[in-house]
């Protein structure tokens, strides 16, 4: 068996033809036509292969890798080089899903020029489809500059993890007037969609009905045009998940039990078998 044959067995490619690749126009059109958009975070080659084969519409290479891959308490320490490193693996594994990459702290915060340079490096070095930029009205000119540079932008409003020092922690964002002002500014700046994080259900519904572009919720209720979930939460790597998440399997427990069995067999001399 060749290496390529082995790889395809371990990580099967999607059976969906590549002509059905999710593009920015197709993503936007789902606001009108449905069905709702599925987005899951991905950080490496094998996870992206599984997600693409399963039919996920979009893969977000999130700076949340700082939390779930690097074990840090927040996303602020993730570098541009690390984002490019992880995104390049995800893109190489993907044939159908739209791949979106976070612009890490502090490039968008430094203004349009720094954001354009960082976003351009991401697309040029990874061949990803788009970038995600956190921020509302105060960052609309930065988003506009990136879009005008020919780089598609997914917005991110509500709870913004890159503002964690200002917020003092991860908490529900209840300011409805500010949210509507922010999402309107991001839409007008040219974003093709907006992630809404950690806001009341009613506010998620209001923002989704107000906007002409798709909303992707994470802790924003069921009325958004799509949902994004962290890969490790979906698969139950930890002992528990955030309130807004759902574990469809307890993979962490399965992995631990499998490795324990292996260790026992090594110690007992049962592995390797004759």
| Count of residues in the chain | 274
Between the CA atoms of 195, 200, 203 and 208, what dihedral angle is there, to the nearest 10 degrees? 40
Under a CB-based contact definition with an 8 Å cutoff, are residues 234 and 247 in contact? Answer: yes
DSSP 201-228: HHHHHHHHHH-SS-EEEESS-TTSSEEE
Between the CA atoms of 152, 156, 160 and 161, what dihedral angle is there, to the nearest 10 degrees? -50
Note if 177 is an active site residue: no
Which one of the listed residues 29, 141, 197, 209 is annotated catalytic? 197
- Identify which of 77, 46, 52, 54 has the alpha carbon closest to the alpha carbon of residue 64: 77
- Identify which of 189, 162, 194 has the alpha carbon closest to the alpha carbon of residue 179: 194
Structure tokens at 104: 């890490």
Catalytic residues: 197
């Amino acid at each position: 068996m060749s290496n390529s044959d082995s790889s395809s067995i371990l990580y099967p490619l999607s059976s969906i033809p590549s002509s059905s690749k999710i593009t920015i126009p197709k993503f936007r059109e789902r606001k009108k036509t449905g069905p709702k958009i599925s987005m899951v975070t991905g950080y490496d080659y094998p996870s992206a292969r599984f997600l693409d084969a399963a039919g996920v519409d979009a893969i977000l290479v999130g700076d949340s890798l700082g939390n779930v891959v690097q074990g840090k308490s927040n996303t602020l320490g993730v570098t541009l080089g690390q984002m490019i490193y992880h995104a390049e693996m995800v893109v190489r594994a993907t044939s159908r899903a739209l791949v979106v990459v976070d612009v890490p702290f502090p490039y968008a915060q430094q203004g349009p020029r720094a954001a354009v340079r960082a976003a351009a490096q991401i697309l040029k070095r990874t061949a990803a489809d788009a970038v995600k930029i956190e921020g509302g009205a105060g960052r609309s000119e930065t988003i506009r500059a990136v879009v005008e540079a020919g780089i598609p932008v997914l917005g991110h409003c509500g709870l913004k993890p890159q503002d964690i020092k200002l917020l003092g922690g991860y908490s529900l964002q209840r300011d409805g007037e500010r949210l509507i002002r922010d999402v309107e500014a991001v839409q007008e700046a040219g974003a093709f969609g907006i992630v809404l994080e950690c806001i009341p259900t009613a506010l998620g519904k209001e923002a989704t009905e107000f906007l002409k572009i798709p909303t992707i919720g994470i802790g924003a209720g069921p009325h958004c045009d799509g949902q994004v979930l962290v890969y490790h939460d979906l698969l139950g790597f930890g002992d528990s998940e955030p309130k807004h998440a759902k574990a469809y399997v307890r993979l962490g427990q399965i992995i631990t039990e499998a490795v324990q069995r292996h260790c026992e067999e090594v110690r007992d001399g049962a592995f390797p078998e004759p």
